[in-house]
Chains A and B, each alone.
Chain A
Amino acid sequence: MIHSLFIINPSGDVFLEKHWRSVIPRSVCDYYLEAQRASPNDVPPVLAAPHHYLISIHRGGVALVAVCKQEVAPLFVIEFLHRVVDTFQDYFSDCTETIIKENYVVVYELLDEMLDNGFPLATESNILKELIKPPNILRTIANTVTGKSNVSSTLPSGQLSNVPWRRSGVKYANNEAYFDVVEEVDAIIDKSGATVNAEIQGYIDCCIKLSGMPDLTLTFVNPRLFDDVSFHPCVRFKRWEAERILSFIPPDGNFRLMSYHIGSQSVVAIPIYVRHSLTLRSNGDQGRLDLTVGPKQTMGRTLENVALEICMPKCVLNCCLTANQGKYSYDPVSKMLLWDIGRIELPKLPNIKGSVSVVSGADTTGASPSINVHFTIPQLAVSGLRVSRLDMYGAKYKPFKGVKYVTKAGKFHVRM
């Protein structure tokens, strides 16, 4: 299991270490740093050092490196590390070097509470928050005055109940339950505009603020869409299997209720198209770029926050373009062309064109970049998924309920 954890900043300094067993010298991180130097953005997640295994994740500009000594399930460690980052984000709203440094003691207390001897102990945010109160200025002042601490001295009630994810004695003046159905379209579109691969990665994220022990059932109009789902532990799997409804006692606060995947087996609507032409050698050192973006299969909704990212071939020096909508920028170092379009209002189609200067004499064959497309479509779940109703049992009040749909681009690539 996990022996030690090191947190490393991008410049290669270890700024936090925590050992759950015997102390392992931080020099073990050299193996990680070596790999990082070799390929700064692509450090393999599992590295073998002579006597240890380094399993790492990279998030928010910091790397978390777990050190293990024995055979261990790497995914177990990776999932746990992601959970650590999630917890930090939950507590401190972000997980950066500065924030961790500012909250060393809480971070240390948290790590100690999350893992014992390398075995996960308490990772549910509901339980952790009962054990260690998240820092906020008001409480800190109150604690200084009253001499209280932000560490609870009683055992969290949820820890051992059948619903470990929910704390007991929850009380709200306004009872609310919000569901966000988020769908991300992952697609690869080839040069000619044909779809090579398209999938939908969907999530239902909830924000539930309900008093007592509510028991919820969420029903869908068309549950047959799902062929591949994964659930928060609170969902009763048997009922899903039998009736295709989600029945659960929710955790308190924000959590992901389910995620689903609509795969390459079914047809996925592609809500946007990009018409592109890039010639790198039309006359002398000048090439031409011309891009037009338009909606397609949006079911009458508007495309918002549209942005295109193109990593231009190495030979491109600069771009001089005019856009009829939005702003563009080109970074000659990273060769990244960014065109921020915003909303697409029909009938006007956003277009950008102009000249591209190329290193003279450079070899331009075989250089075909990809366009990374971003967009959001509010009030639409592109798969057609709809929630039909939400019922609540086990509580007497009437909650306020809401469902929001949004479709976004996930890894949406158009090849040029």
Chain B
Amino acid sequence: MTDSKYFTTTKKGEIFELKSELNSDKKEKKKEAVKKVIASMTVGKDVSALFPDVVNCMQTDNLELKKLVYLYLMNYAKSQPDMAIMAVNTFVKDCEDSNPLIRALAVRTMGCIRVDKITEYLCEPLRKCLKDEDPYVRKTAAVCVAKLYDISSSMVEDQGFLDQLKDLLSDSNPMVVANAVAALSEINEASVSGRPLVEMNAPTINKLLTALNECTEWGQVFILDALSNYSPRDAREAHSICERITPRLAHANAAVVLSAVKVLMKLMEMVSADTELVSTLSRKLAPPLVTLLSAEPEVQYVALRNINLVVQKRPDILKHEMKVFFVKYNDPIYVKLEKLDIMIRLASQANIAQVLGELKEYATEVDVDFVRKAVRAIGRCAIKVEPSAERCVSTLLELIQTKVNYVVQEAIVVIKDIFRKYPNKYESIISTLCENLDTLDEPEARASMVWIVGEYAERIDNADELLDSFLEGFHDENAQVQLQLLTAVVKLFLKRPADTQELVQHVLSLATQDSDNPDLRDRGFIYWRLLSTDPAAAKEVVLADKPLISEETDLLEPTLLDELICHISSLASVYHKPPTAFVEGRGAGVRKSLPSRGVVAEETSTQQPTVIPNQESLIGDLLSMDIGGPPPAPAPSSNVDLLAGGLDVLLGGGPEPGASAAAVPGGASGLLGDIFAVSAAPASYVPPKQCWLPADKGKGLEIWGTFSRQNGQPRMEMTFTNKAMQPMTGFAIQLNKNSFGVYPVGGLAVGAVGAGAGAEAALPLATHGPVQRMDPLNNLQVAIKNNIDVFYFACLIPAHILFTEDGQLDKRVFLTTWKEIPAANEVQHTLSNVVGTADSIAQKMTLNNIFTIAKRNVEGQDMLYQSLKLTNNIWVLLELKLQPGNPEATLSLKSRTVEVATCIFQAYEAIIKS
């Protein structure tokens, strides 16, 4: 007696058979027939032809039959809108039924029938049901409002259903409250404007918290998610919400636990870091997160993706729980990879021995992807935990000895990174690496190996032979290997010029003449010209010290991380992308951000790792190192930096990047000279001269002037024009006290100026004079005296001439400072008509003592992190957001003395447009 009997067919055809059965007089037969119809529908057969016959069965007092007919209606009403109208009367009647179950069922089904004509009839019954005496009906009606909104949002707004729904938030029954919250959240999410239609306030939140304890697990998830969108007014309110939510962490339903974690993580931001609450919460958050890892693998996966975020935001929470992330050999691969990622994040000096032991074990597993990631993880540990580097290297060497092809290749890729991080420390292993040269077949591993050979060419006796063997198949190599080969051979040549001349000529001709790859050609030409012009300079350029890799794990960028923390438990947390990046139909304006702590004490320096490139960009970084890498500590007078910087502009920011490639090799010295000439005088931006004193006010004396900064000293540059009929003599200058303590060094070097003649004067300035706050801040009052009179005028000092040369912050310091400065001290400014790439802008800024600390690319946006220091020791931190193709850029500024923002923005804008 099972349902499979519904699938037996007869010769006459199924539909015909069913039709006659549906029209049968016998109730029992009718019901059986409807069941058959439903069964066919379930498997996806088209039974829409039976619509009128099924609808005829609707008028019945048998609830099961009614439900079955409703199921059918929901599926097919859309395709038969005219017929569906027949059902309306029954629905309306059912909404008045004395049985709450039937009332609820009717309103529920009506909402599911997405036919306009039926929707019109839905409003009245729905309004009644929202006020029904039975909570079961009310809670069903609440969901129905969300359904209606999906069909016709204007109807919901016009008919006042939103207000009725809001009223339900204070319903006496927790289940009704939960459903009202769910419906409202969905409506908010779907609202066209992207702005929430219903804002939560403190009394509503209180009601929600009460309902939280009594409603079903799913209701709890809805309420917790709604709470996460609410920002408490102050730390005290946050505190009390935290306390009422904490018990949810012990819920059996993983979704409830994770939603509670989200709210708590968000509210912890509001409470100052040293309070007891934060430490208690940190302690309480660990066990439930660990417990999620003993659930089904699907739950584990989502939990791990979220733990990844939690660990980045608050590493302390799980620092003692390393072991639970150890991989079990029958974990699904998606769980294994996530666990590995978290293991590296938690690795520290205290547990590194254990972690390495595990990683080594994983490197012998069967799954290739997992093994590769494990080998990479060892390298990442070496870079992250400095004291363990030696152990990591020896572990990697052991793995290389296994000769398992993909293990060796991965190991070589990570060893290259280790060399970058700890130069001149582990070179003794190079010979072992060279033994494996022939087995490498993946581009990344080959490129890494070539880099190593080139970098340490002087220690490898047969480096030339090794590289020569690679050159045989030059054209079949991957582009990154070709680029590496080119660079490596040039390095070799510079180190051992005597016996490798032929080799370098060979590779240069391969790169410049036989290659279609513009990158390769360009690099070839540059080396060629460099070598032919000035080998000494070439040596300084190519063999320059490389910036160290600070750390390696691919951490999320802080602002993105903060946003994702607000989205814990959602799809965004699984993809590690903000919802705006992938959820359809979402307004751009609903980005969530962590609440700021406001006036409460600053965070005690939570150890935040520096901004770090991920594996992929690392190799890219390495490859472009010789020409493109941003100079670590620009010293404007050093030749090396000039060239690196100048070439960078030429290659990246120049209007015609192809121009240099088209030039003939050999005859390039002129062009190279130009490059040098251009970059040899990297002038900081000098604003055009302005008329400070017009002739009619200066009794014939006209002064045009501007400010500049040269050799670390600000200067005032002025042009005096005598428009009077008599000569002027005896010039002197005085500056009033000003905000930056600027005063003239030495006198004004202007002699006599004859009638109609002019004179130029440059006045060096110093910046430790008496200070008086001016308005605007950069206002400077000047008095000029000559034989005729004393003239007074005011001018504005462009802020950038006050940026000092030592304004570069260390990455780590930058990050901690950025976090320490309260959000209230952040000012944003939109720059319009920005031209040029991030690199060219960074270049321009460096010339003006605005130093780029890091550059990241996030969702297609370039982010530049910059620092500068004013002469009065005010540090200013900047974040520039650039979107390629968009002339508008956003500049955020953080400083402890935020008053300087305006003049810095002015200066920044002026420089960018120069």
Please give the residue numbers on chain A whose beta carbons come within 8 Å of chain B beta carbons, in ascending order. Answer: 1, 14-23, 26, 39, 41-42, 44-46, 48, 51, 53, 56-58, 69-76, 78-80, 82, 101-109, 112, 116-117, 119-120, 123-124, 137, 140-141, 144, 147, 149-155, 159-160, 162, 164, 186, 188, 190, 196-197, 199, 201, 227-233, 237-238, 240-241, 256, 258-259, 261, 263-265, 311, 313-314, 363, 365-368, 370, 372, 410-411, 413, 415
A74-B574, A76-B221 in contact; A45/B301 too (CB < 8 A)?
Answer: yes
B298–A56 CB distance below 8 A: yes
Could you say which of B252, B302, B354, B582 contacts A230, with CB atoms under 8 Å apart?
Answer: B252
Interface size class of B (residues with CB under 8 A): 35 or more
B326–A231 CB distance below 8 A: no
A103–B251 CB distance below 8 A: no
- The answer for the CA separation of A21 and B65 in the assembled complex, in Å, is 21
Query: Min CB distance, B253 to chain A, in Å?
Result: 6
A366–B364 CB distance below 8 A: yes
- The answer for the CA separation of A117 and B257 in the assembled complex, in Å, is 24
B42–A75 CB distance below 8 A: no
The dominant DSSP class at the B interface is helix
Could you say which of B38, B186, B298, B301 contacts A1, with CB atoms under 8 Å apart?
Answer: B186
A119–B301 CB distance below 8 A: no
Contacts of A237 in B (CB 8 A): 247, 250
B100–A46 CB distance below 8 A: no
- The answer for the CA separation of A164 and B174 in the assembled complex, in Å, is 11
Instruction: Convert B313-326 into 0s and 1s, putting 1 for each residue whose CB lies closer than 8 angstroms to a CB of A.
Output: 00000001101101
Which of these binds chain A: B84-92, B107-115, B234-242, B273-281?
Answer: B107-115
Query: Min CB distance, A192 to chain B, in Å?
Result: 11
Query: Min CB distance, B54 to chain A, in Å?
Result: 14
User: In B655-701, which residues have CB < 8 Å from any A CB?
Assistant: none
User: In B554-604, which residues have CB < 8 Å from any A CB?
Assistant: 569-572, 574-575, 579, 582-586
A231-B250, A261-B291, A415-B361 in contact; A70/B39 too (CB < 8 A)?
Answer: no
B179–A119 CB distance below 8 A: yes
User: In B801-818, which residues have CB < 8 Å from any A CB?
Assistant: none
Could you say which of A75, A112, A159, A410 contacts B255, with CB atoms under 8 Å apart?
Answer: A75
Q: Is B3 an interface residue (CB 8 A)?
A: yes
A137-B1, A154-B101 in contact; A45/B28 too (CB < 8 A)?
Answer: no
- The answer for the CA separation of A76 and B251 in the assembled complex, in Å, is 13
Q: Is B218 an interface residue (CB 8 A)?
A: yes
B100–A241 CB distance below 8 A: no
Query: Min CB distance, A7 to chain B, in Å?
Result: 10
Instruction: Convert B729-753 into 0s and 1s, putting 1 for each residue whose CB lies closer than 8 angstroms to a CB of A.
Output: 0000000000000000000000000
B287–A41 CB distance below 8 A: no
B64–A149 CB distance below 8 A: yes
Could you say which of B44, B112, B402 contacts A117, with CB atoms under 8 Å apart?
Answer: B112
User: In B118-177, which residues have CB < 8 Å from any A CB?
Assistant: 134-136, 140, 143-144, 146-147, 150, 173, 175
User: In B822-850, which residues have CB < 8 Å from any A CB?
Assistant: none
User: In B234-271, which residues have CB < 8 Å from any A CB?
Assistant: 247, 250-255, 257-259
A144–B44 CB distance below 8 A: no
- The answer for the CA separation of A147 and B111 in the assembled complex, in Å, is 31
* Interface CB pairs A-B, < 8 A, 11: A15-B43, A71-B586, A78-B254, A102-B2, A119-B218, A141-B1, A149-B62, A190-B361, A196-B326, A230-B250, A263-B287
Knowing that A116-B108, A230-B251, A233-B251 touch, tell me 20 more A-B residue pairs with CB under 8 angstroms.
A17-B42, A23-B78, A44-B301, A46-B574, A51-B584, A70-B584, A70-B585, A73-B571, A75-B299, A105-B38, A109-B67, A153-B101, A155-B134, A186-B294, A199-B323, A231-B250, A231-B251, A261-B287, A261-B290, A411-B328
- The answer for the CA separation of A39 and B575 in the assembled complex, in Å, is 20
The dominant DSSP class at the A interface is mixed
CB-nearest residue of chain B relative to A102?
Answer: B2
- The answer for the CA separation of A368 and B189 in the assembled complex, in Å, is 51
Could you say which of A23, A58, A117 contacts B75, with CB atoms under 8 Å apart?
Answer: A23
B251–A160 CB distance below 8 A: no
Most buried by B among A107, A263, A413: A263
Contacts of A311 in B (CB 8 A): 329
B302–A46 CB distance below 8 A: yes
Q: Is B617 an interface residue (CB 8 A)?
A: no
CB-nearest residue of chain A relative to B569?
Answer: A73
A370–B298 CB distance below 8 A: no
B569–A155 CB distance below 8 A: no
B38–A108 CB distance below 8 A: yes
Contacts of A313 in B (CB 8 A): 366
CB-nearest residue of chain A relative to B138?
Answer: A160
B3–A46 CB distance below 8 A: no
Contacts of B407 in A (CB 8 A): 366
Contacts of A149 in B (CB 8 A): 31, 62-65
B217–A233 CB distance below 8 A: yes
Contacts of B175 in A (CB 8 A): 159-160, 164
Could you say which of B136, B333, B403, B572 contacts A42, with CB atoms under 8 Å apart?
Answer: B333
Q: Is B334 an interface residue (CB 8 A)?
A: yes
Contacts of A108 in B (CB 8 A): 38, 42, 71
Query: Min CB distance, A250 to chain B, in Å?
Result: 14
A71–B189 CB distance below 8 A: yes
Please give the residue numbers on chain B whose beta carbons come within 8 Å of chain A beta carbons, in ascending order. Answer: 1-4, 6, 27-28, 31, 35, 38-39, 42-44, 62-65, 67-68, 71, 75, 78, 99-101, 108, 111-112, 114, 134-136, 140, 143-144, 146-147, 150, 173, 175, 179, 182, 186, 189-190, 214, 216-218, 221, 225, 247, 250-255, 257-259, 287-288, 290-291, 294, 296-299, 301-303, 320-321, 323-324, 326, 328-330, 332-334, 354, 357-358, 361, 364, 366, 402-404, 407, 569-572, 574-575, 579, 582-586
Query: Min CB distance, A409 to chain B, in Å?
Result: 12
Query: Min CB distance, A219 to chain B, in Å?
Result: 18
- The answer for the CA separation of A32 and B27 in the assembled complex, in Å, is 42
- The answer for the CA separation of A87 and B790 in the assembled complex, in Å, is 95
Query: Min CB distance, B372 to chain A, in Å?
Result: 14
- The answer for the CA separation of A197 and B329 in the assembled complex, in Å, is 13
Contacts of A104 in B (CB 8 A): 3, 6, 38-39, 42-43
A411–B101 CB distance below 8 A: no
Contacts of A263 in B (CB 8 A): 287, 290, 321, 324
- The answer for the CA separation of A261 and B324 in the assembled complex, in Å, is 11
Could you say which of A18, A58, A241, A415 contacts B247, with CB atoms under 8 Å apart?
Answer: A241
- The answer for the CA separation of A372 and B331 in the assembled complex, in Å, is 12
Most buried by B among A159, A256, A415: A159
Contacts of A119 in B (CB 8 A): 143, 179, 182, 218
Contacts of B321 in A (CB 8 A): 263-264
Contacts of B290 in A (CB 8 A): 228, 261, 263
A102–B31 CB distance below 8 A: no
Could you say which of B2, B62, B252 contacts A256, with CB atoms under 8 Å apart?
Answer: B252
Could you say which of B42, B78, B216, B254 contacts A16, with CB atoms under 8 Å apart?
Answer: B42
- The answer for the CA separation of A69 and B323 in the assembled complex, in Å, is 37
A233–B42 CB distance below 8 A: no
A22-B114, A160-B136 in contact; A197/B39 too (CB < 8 A)?
Answer: no
Contacts of A240 in B (CB 8 A): 250
Could you say which of B27, B75, B253 contacts A79, with CB atoms under 8 Å apart?
Answer: B253
- The answer for the CA separation of A101 and B43 in the assembled complex, in Å, is 9
- The answer for the CA separation of A91 and B491 in the assembled complex, in Å, is 74
- The answer for the CA separation of A120 and B361 in the assembled complex, in Å, is 44
A228–B291 CB distance below 8 A: yes
A39–B326 CB distance below 8 A: no
CB-nearest residue of chain A relative to B407?
Answer: A366
- The answer for the CA separation of A97 and B585 in the assembled complex, in Å, is 37
CB-nearest residue of chain B relative to A184?
Answer: B294
Contacts of A368 in B (CB 8 A): 364
- The answer for the CA separation of A365 and B408 in the assembled complex, in Å, is 14
B173–A231 CB distance below 8 A: no
CB-nearest residue of chain B relative to A46?
Answer: B574
A75–B254 CB distance below 8 A: yes
A201–B101 CB distance below 8 A: no
Contacts of A105 in B (CB 8 A): 3, 6, 35, 38-39, 68
